[in-house]
Structure formats: C-alpha cells, structure tokens
Chain A
Amino acid sequence: GESVGLHLPTLSVQEGDNSIINCAYSNSASDYFIWYKQESGKGPQFIIDIRSNMDKRQGQRVTVLLNKTVKHLSLQIAATQPGDSAVYFCAENPRSGGGADGLTFGKGTHLIIQP
C-alpha cells in the first residue's frame, strides 16, 4: 500500500552540527506534507509544513525540502541543540483539496544529540 516512510530509525549527531532527517513517500497525489516532533510522553508537535507547489520552506532553524521527482522529503535542523532530541515524523495528506483528514505518518526517526 501507499505510505510514508523514513530512511533511518535513529540518527545521532553532535551538538551544534546540522541534522538532516529524510523521508520517502509513495503517493504522488499527496499535496501537503508536515514534519512533527514528538518528545517522550507528549503528543506530536507541529514543526513545519510544505505544499506540493513548493520545493523549499524555511522556519526558525528548520528547513524542509521537497523533491517531487523522486518523492523525497527532508528536514534540516541547523545548529542542533539538546532540546532537539525527539522522534521526528513526516506525514502526508493524500487527499487533494481535503483539509485535516487522514494524515499518513512515517515510522519516525529518533534524533539523538551527542554532547
């Protein structure tokens, strides 16, 4: 079936380095993608989103890149801090024009920050 997946279950980076978390999706009809951060004991927290008519979007210390040709999504975190330790999920909305219904989530990448 069509789903969103992540390449690595765990990513370990040095504090202060940049982190890149990757995600592959298979539904070419998806028009909206989101990255969420989930800390232990909490619900997912919205980080940044991007629509399919864009290939890059920047936020505070985060950048999302979308490559529709190879159906690839990535999240870049600049100057990684201890507070960035969490599990990161990519999600897609496969319903064009739909609203907030039925997000499909990837399995998640656990980002570990080394001091």
Chain B
Amino acid sequence: KAGVTQTPRYLIKTRGQQVTLSCSPISGHRSVSWYQQTPGQGLQFLFEYFSETQRNKGNFPGRFSGRQFSNSRSEMNVSTLELGDSALYLCASSMFTATGLSYEQYFGPGTRLTVT
C-alpha cells in the first residue's frame, strides 16, 4: 500500500507570493492533518480535514488555509508569504477502525518551503 505522498517536495517562493501544497493520503484514509515544522517552534498543528470539512484548526493566521476533495486528497494554501513561513510542511493521514477514527497518523515526507 502506498504511503502518504506530498508534492512538490521542494519549493522556493518570494515574499508576498502565495503557494499551494498538495497531499494524497493513504488509500482508505479519510482524515488529513497538516503540520508546520521549524527548528524554532518544532511541529505545530495547522488544521485537520475529514470528509471535505475542516474539523480542527491550530493557532495560525488566516493566510493559512486548506481544503479536502471528495477523494480525500488535500491542499493547503499560504497567501502573502512571509520569511517566517519557511518551514517543512507535513501532511498526515488517519483511518477509521471498527471502533472509530484511529488516532494513529501516518506522515508524508513533507514539502520544504523556502521564502526569500
């Protein structure tokens, strides 16, 4: 079974631009979460989508947004990029088990975003 895939793997943008990152979850997984990882702040939760609906959101400004499609694939968008947005953006997917949604999250390799 293929793992979580993220595209692109690397991206360089300039301040003020916007960027869209893509995540394809493991087949059968319906929950997709996004995280930002930086050396200073570590791994921080951005938001989580389930069945095309955003269920939870972390403490990030409105410039960070996302969506999920009917096939569970997800995108996140960052508008008006700032230097501080340089980070590794990770996507994780989760599945339902017989007792409900599994807590176990499987991460993709991430997209390394550099803002200059």
Chain A contacts for B50, CB-based, 8 A: 99
CB of A43 within 8 A of CB of B103, answer no
A37-78 vs B: 1/0 string, CB under 8 Å? Answer: 000011111100100000000000000000000000000000
* Chain B residues bordering chain A, tally (CB within 8 A): 27
CB of A100 within 8 A of CB of B92, answer yes
Chain B contacts for A108, CB-based, 8 A: 42
Which B residues from 30 to 80 make CB contacts under 8 A with A?
31, 33, 35, 42-45, 48, 50, 55-56, 58
CB of A43 within 8 A of CB of B90, answer yes
Chain A contacts for B58, CB-based, 8 A: 102
CB of A44 within 8 A of CB of B48, answer no
Q: Is the interface of B mostly helix, strand, loop or mixed?
A: strand
Residues of chain B touching chain A, judged by Cβ–Cβ distance below 8 Å, are 4, 31, 33, 35, 42-45, 48, 50, 55-56, 58, 90, 92, 94, 100-110
29 contacts between A and B (CB under 8 A): A36-B107, A42-B109, A43-B4, A43-B90, A43-B107, A43-B108, A43-B109, A44-B43, A44-B90, A44-B107, A45-B107, A46-B105, A46-B106, A49-B104, A89-B43, A93-B103, A99-B94, A99-B100, A100-B31, A100-B33, A100-B48, A100-B103, A100-B104, A101-B31, A101-B33, A101-B48, A104-B45, A105-B42, A105-B43
Chain A contacts for B42, CB-based, 8 A: 89, 105-108
* Chain A residues bordering chain B, tally (CB within 8 A): 25
